Amino acid sequence: MNIRPFEPGDELAVCEIYNHYVTHTVVTFEERPLTPQQMRERIDAYRANHPWLVCVSDGSVVGYSYATWFHPRAAYRHSAEMTVYVRQGLERRGIGRRLYDPLIRQLQAQGCHALLAGISLPNEGSVGLHEAFGFTKVAHFAQVGHKLGGWVDVGYWQRLLP
């Protein structure tokens, strides 16, 4: 597996990976699949300020991670919200861990101090990944989302960097 920055053309695989979560899970609260063009515009907007990494295995993108502003106001400029997505069927094979390590290092090098992650609950895999990287749960919002016929809780995990 190779971790590298996003390159033009990766949006096709990224879109395919993400749209599975859009249509079949409550991991994201987005409800309509994105087109590759919409995904590319989103990626380009995020990459203007934060890293977007992909994991390539046997020539195919099998996962990605990225960060974005936690909040747009200037005082939040040292905080970032981060996430990771792995191709369906390849979860729990270390792809998320391989993507997060360089992402966190790059965010630290950019001067980030607070890293945050919002997790739809329950989600043992994502909670375990974040806690393995030193994140701790700081908030729990009950039934703030409604998707696929049910109410969904969201928790927030945080890690402070030196």
DSSP state of 144: E
Residues 17/87, Cβ–Cβ less than 8 Å: yes
* CA 130/CA 96 separation, integer angstroms: 10
| Model pLDDT, residue 86 | 97
| Model pLDDT, residue 118 | 98
* CA 106/CA 94 separation, integer angstroms: 19
Residue 154's H or E segment, with its range, is strand 150-160
∠ at Cα 152 (148, 153), nearest 5°?
A: 165
CATH number of 82's domain: 3.40.630.30
Q: How many domains does the chain have?
A: 1
For 6-44, how does the pLDDT look when each residue is reduced to its tens digit (9 = 90+)? Answer: 999 999 999 999 999 999 999 999 999 999 999 999 999
For 76-96, how does the pLDDT look when each residue is reduced to its tens digit (9 = 90+)? Answer: 999 999 999 999 999 989 999
Determine the structural domain holding residue 41 and report its residue range: 2-160
Mean pLDDT of 54-82: 97
**pLDDT category, 128, cuts 50, 70, 90?**
very high
- Strand ranges, E, within 32-99: 52-57, 60-69, 79-86
